[in-house]
Structure 1
Amino acid sequence: MNCCKPKIHFHFISAFWVLLYLFSTPISVIGQDFKFQTNRKQQTITFSLVKNLIIIPIYINGKGPFDFILDTGVNPMIVTDSTLKESLKVPYVRNIKIGGYGNFDGIDAFLGATTVNVGEAEGENIPTVFLKNEILSLSGYVGRRIYGLIGFNFFNSFVVKINYDEKSLKFISPGKKIKPRGEKIPLELIDNKPYVSVNIEQEGLGSKTLRALVDCGASHAISLEALIKNPFPLPTFSIQANLGNGLTGPINGRIGRIELLKLGKFVFKDVLANYPKYQIDTTTNRERNANLGAELLSRFNVTYDYRNLCMYIKKNARFNYPFEHDMAGIEFYSDGSTSGILIPRYVKKNARINVPFGADITGVELTETSLISRTLISRIEPGSPADLVGLKEGDQIISINFKDIDDYPIDEISNIFKAKSGYSVILEIWRDKTFLIKLLKLKKRI
């Protein structure tokens, strides 16, 4: 069901940006808060941290667990796995249209209300958007099955403490007295999303105070979007990059560095920044300048207190990590499936190092190996080290430095590709029934 005036929501998930236009009336449902079902006042659960994203198990309508990304930048809850709506038997769903920049026809989705459990906390009548088709490849991005994103209703129900050091999530009932640790940072809630004031210094621009969405569901450090109702000015040097995939396809833009970023009393230097390219007139939220993501937020242990419009930040062990971009020029994903790859027999006999780099060894005697997870290259940056050695979109990565790809967590693969300029990486590739070995020399490009 469409309305003539769209209500616009934005959300960015690192390489996967969800830019939602909900062509529907505002959501109004009784309930929507999470509460403990016993006398419990607080609970601590562990989470998985992949590419700076917090992944927690939740139950929906008594079924699960389903892995969801915990995300301050999303409202309402979004189910990206298109198989869930029928299995959950959600009543009274209605058709809506959602879309991204430049796609005003919209994409089919459903809006309903669900009962959601996080630990021993339960939320009734939680507004939930179900994508009709699984457009966003969140599972491929993090290397495990992800069913959706959960945000505002959970954060608004508790004081939420995220300890990135211990990978623990503590949520506390509002009535319980607590002593938050760290510096207090004022929050401003706009459309149920938290905003903070940050200061930056950029070459050629000088010092600016910006309003930034606090988005722990974004893998980047900061995305600079708009300034005085125009696209954000670029720094003196930047490189072209695919900043992600959204509902309407790739999000193009550039990556550069800002000289300084200050949040509260904390100062970061030489920070990587995204500069997305989009038509500014397609947005209505022109007072927002930036999106502050988890590459920066994860350097603190953070306490969110929506009801008192503040958060507390205390630096952790990740605080002094350098901000580095991929030095290989490779974007990759895991599609969740496996394939049986025929590996050359002499390679299997611990003689891989003798295979000529780039050799086409299709004619060599083959032997079938065990099933290997399909880790595929989705994009090669033009002129990058990966491009120069002939890697291509669709290539399947079999191993890195002669260690099977299944032995690497997806975060470790990303870290290898941005380890150090000049560092050599050996990739075994399966392409069109051809086994190739490629030697990459990493190069810092930004």
Structure 2
Amino acid sequence: MPKKIALTYFLLFISWFQGWTQVPGFFLKEDKRKVTIPFYSSNSLIIVPVSINGNQPVNFMIDTGVRANILFSKTLGDELGLEYSRRLSLVGADGTTNLMASVSPVNQLDLGPIVGNFQNLLVLEEDFLELESVIGVPVYGILGYEFFKYNPIRINYDDGKLDFFKNKALKWRPPFFKKLELSVEDNKPYVQAKVKQKSGKIIEPKLLIDTGANHGLLLNRETTDDIDMPSKVIESEIGQSLGGLLYGFIGRVDYLKIAKLKLEEVLTSYPDTTAFSYVIKDSGRQGSLGAEVLGRTKVIFDYPRERIFIKKANNFYSPFEFDMSGLSIKKLPVDQTRFFISDVRENSPGARSGALPLDEIIAINKVPVFIWELVEINKLLRSEEGRVIELELRRYDPVDSKKWESLSVRVRLQKQI
């Protein structure tokens, strides 16, 4: 082949390769079959450090349930030197809260061996999620659909590791994994499942796969008359979303089947209908699968070929336990480790103990709170029926926060559902 022709082909190849790596999306930096990155898991939510445009890394949550990449703080965006192209008014998930956000285009998001090129960021002007108070560690944003769209991704909750594969690396089903068809609609992933309800009725709902939701199974009653809420439920907060807290009921179903994997007595959320419900109806889904179920599996998302591979993790058969105290605990987003009671469920062990909302927790079972992580406290409060938890509290004067009284309460854990 003449040198001139060979050089032409080489230049065409370089041009094609550079064009591929410069399209919007996440890619491997090196020509490898896969790379592995560790993640921090809090209640099976997936948190990784991400550098924006070469700045110091900050924590992002990987969330299949959202379309856009989101940065929670415009103050942080300004500190990072982000540029904005337009300003948007959004409606929160409760259908009433107005959220203001700015769009920052053409950013580079770096995860070590993985790079996100030409990434848009939706930058909230106020952090409505306040995830640190719920999961106990600072989280500044979300990676959504863009992270998954070109490459298979394996999530190993047992080891806290994420494998990011080359686009064509998984041509065959990995050993011992079950295959499940995946439909990606409006940049969100859906699967079909089978659910046997306490009424005995079996349904086959279309479910959103939502790695960023800390529930197990969620069923939206407004989408079909076939969803029967069980007779034994408790009314509770069921999640945090853009726009504030979501409320509803917690119950159980007899079993949930996904790709022939069967989970029994699954805790199930039944959210109240909101002004946002029409969006759920329009999507055609009847509910969602969250981290409490997904965290019991090893799962591979393959968006390009519209499939999921899934198998049991070590904790697959662990019972689904709900909080047995009736206390909702949140972390104050400050430098010191501080926890407070955000809500007390009526007629619960926590209510009978005398604990009140806004009480600050100073020690748990004589152990100062700076020793505790929020995830450990939540595990303790759902650990064993009959266990007595001693809380040392500080109750502030509602008029003068510099005044308080100290008190100690005892909470005997009792199954509520």
Q: List alignment gaps of at least 5 residues for structure 2.
A: 1-21, 397-403
Please state whether the residue corresponding to 1:302 is helix, strand or coil.
strand
More helix by share: 2
The 2-side partners of 1:36 and 1:50 are apart by: 26
When residues 320 and 229 of structure 1 are mapped into structure 2, their CA distance, relative to the original with a 3 A threshold, is closer
- Tell me the TM-score normalised to structure 1 length: 0.82
1:387 pairs, out of 351, 367, 373, with 351
241-250 or 416-425, which deviates more? 241-250
Q: Percent identity?
A: 30
Q: List alignment gaps of at least 5 residues for structure 1.
A: 1-29, 339-371
When residues 231 and 335 of structure 1 are mapped into structure 2, their CA distance, relative to the original with a 3 A threshold, is farther
Shift of 1:304: 0.9
| Residue of structure 1 equivalent to 2:75 | 83
Residues 338 and 370 in structure 2, CA contact (< 8 A), matched pair in contact too: no
Aligned residues: 384
Is the aligned partner of 1:112 residue 2:107? no
| Residue of structure 1 equivalent to 2:376 | 412
Amino acid at match of 1:139: E
The 2-side partners of 1:444 and 1:202 are apart by: 20
Shift of 1:101: 4.6
2:150 pairs, out of 157, 162, 177, with 157
Shift of 1:425: 0.6
The 2-side partners of 1:119 and 1:429 are apart by: 43
Residues 94 and 275 in structure 2, CA contact (< 8 A), matched pair in contact too: no
- After the TM superposition, which residues 195-344 of structure 1 pair with which residues of structure 2 at under 5 Å, given as runs? 195-204=190-199, 206-226=201-221, 228-229=223-224, 232-279=227-274, 282-286=277-281, 287-337=284-334
The 2-side partners of 1:245 and 1:298 are apart by: 19
Amino acid at match of 1:189: V
Residues 334 and 376 in structure 1, CA contact (< 8 A), matched pair in contact too: yes
Shift of 1:89: 2.1
More strand by share: 1
2:121 pairs, out of 104, 128, 136, with 128
| Residue of structure 1 equivalent to 2:416 | 445
The 2-side partners of 1:415 and 1:214 are apart by: 24
When residues 336 and 236 of structure 1 are mapped into structure 2, their CA distance, relative to the original with a 3 A threshold, is same
Amino acid at match of 2:378: S
Is the aligned partner of 1:74 residue 2:66? yes
Shift of 1:232: 4.1
CA RMSD of aligned residues (A): 1.9
Please state whether the residue corresponding to 1:139 is helix, strand or coil.
helix
Shift of 1:266: 0.9
The 2-side partners of 1:45 and 1:241 are apart by: 36
Please state whether the residue corresponding to 1:295 is helix, strand or coil.
helix
| Residue of structure 2 equivalent to 1:436 | 407
Please state whether the residue corresponding to 2:351 is helix, strand or coil.
helix
Shift of 1:141: 1.2
The 2-side partners of 1:323 and 1:226 are apart by: 22
Shift of 1:229: 4.5
The 1-side partners of 2:126 and 2:170 are apart by: 44
Please state whether the residue corresponding to 2:293 is helix, strand or coil.
helix
2:391 pairs, out of 404, 415, 427, with 427
Residues 243 and 254 in structure 1, CA contact (< 8 A), matched pair in contact too: yes
Residues 193 and 204 in structure 2, CA contact (< 8 A), matched pair in contact too: yes
The 2-side partners of 1:104 and 1:177 are apart by: 43
| Residue of structure 2 equivalent to 1:192 | 187
